[in-house]
């Protein structure tokens, strides 16, 4: 079945450590997105990519980094520079501009 897979579902990180969240899609979509979700704040865009080897900062990119070496993969690294990384992270992909985004099941990151 086609879809978006995020892993792991739960992730714990010690303060000062970098951590990478995985996002893989087999929908052959060009665009991929990372959102952060906090209670009462909806979804905020971190980074997005329209094509391989290209990506743009979203609204809250500070403390995060991404890569897009393959069309199907868009990993997100939460660096130690992110001051408040505990959140629910959602990955999405989209075909062309006039279609909806498909979402993964999310990764809950907790800093301990």
CA angle 55, 59, 51 (to 5 degrees): 15
Report the residue number, 11 or 80, with the smaller CB distance to another protein: 11
Report the residue number, 63 or 106, with the smaller CB distance to another protein: 106
The 3-state DSSP class for residue 97 equals: coil
Q: List CB contacts of 69: < 8 A, sequence separation 6 or more.
A: 52, 53
Q: How many residues bind another protein (CB under 8 A)?
A: 27
Integer Cα distance of 109 and 85 in angstroms: 7
> Is 101 one of the binding residues for another protein (CB under 8 A)?
yes
The distance of closest approach from Cβ of residue 106 to another protein in the complex, given in angstroms and rounded to an integer, is 6
Q: Which residues bind another protein (CB under 8 A)?
A: 4, 31, 33, 35, 40-45, 48, 50, 58, 88, 90, 92, 94, 97-98, 100-106, 108
């Amino acid at each position: 079945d086609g879809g978006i897979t995020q892993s792991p579902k739960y992730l714990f990180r010690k303060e000062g450590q970098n951590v990478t969240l995985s996002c893989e899609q087999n929908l052959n979509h060009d665009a991929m997105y990372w959102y952060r979700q906090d209670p009462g704040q909806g979804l905020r865009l971190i980074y997005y990519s329209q094509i391989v080897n290209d990506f743009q900062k979203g609204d809250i990119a500070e403390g995060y980094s991404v890569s897009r070496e393959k069309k199907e993969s868009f990993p997100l690294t939460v660096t130690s520079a992110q001051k408040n990384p505990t959140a629910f992270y959602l990955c999405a992909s989209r075909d062309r501009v006039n279609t909806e985004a498909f979402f993964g099941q999310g990764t809950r990151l907790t800093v301990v």
